Amino acid sequence: MKSTPRRHRSDSAKAAVTAAQAASMGPLEPPAFVRVRDRDRPAWDAIVTARARDTWTEADLMLAAQLARAYGDIAELEAYIDENGMILGDQINPACTLLDKVSRRALAMARQLKVDTISVVGKSQDIHKGAALERGARQGIDDDDDLIPRALQ
């Protein structure tokens, strides 16, 4: 029989307190045995904040570091292609092939870690419904209405 602690309901007060505490702690740090390059740190932070802090295992964090590295490599390859072009002479730039392979690997890792769009945001029909609601709300907003809370810029 499995003896892992039961997770709290996501709509409970305990879950809200746990979420607020986790948010105040900032992104998780990589384990000591995992190296995250400086240029990959923004991707690392985005990846580990895509899921609840208490759902990450060390194995997940190792894969998250690989995903962050892949995103860093993707950015480097894109910059190289932007500088040198997709065609070199009469051949396709080898960086394009590498970019394709690394992008596919990153997508697979994101799915494995459950940090892809469907896992985090929901199915496309749900996203569409939310976007339609937001558009409708935007149309009904009067900029002079001080009763509607606004984000500070």
pLDDT tens-digit series, residues 20-48: 766 678 899 999 999 999 999 999 999 99
Under a CB-based contact definition with an 8 Å cutoff, are residues 112 and 63 in contact?
yes
- How many other C-beta atoms lie within 10 A of the C-beta of residue 113? 21
- Name the DSSP letter for residue 51: S
Task: Convert the pLDDT of each residue in 53-110 to its tens digit.
Answer: 989 999 999 999 999 999 999 999 999 999 999 999 999 999 999 999 999 999 999 9
| Span 8-12, average pLDDT | 66
Identify any residues that bridge with 88 across adjacent strands, giving them in sequence order: 91
> What pTM was estimated for this model as a whole?
0.74
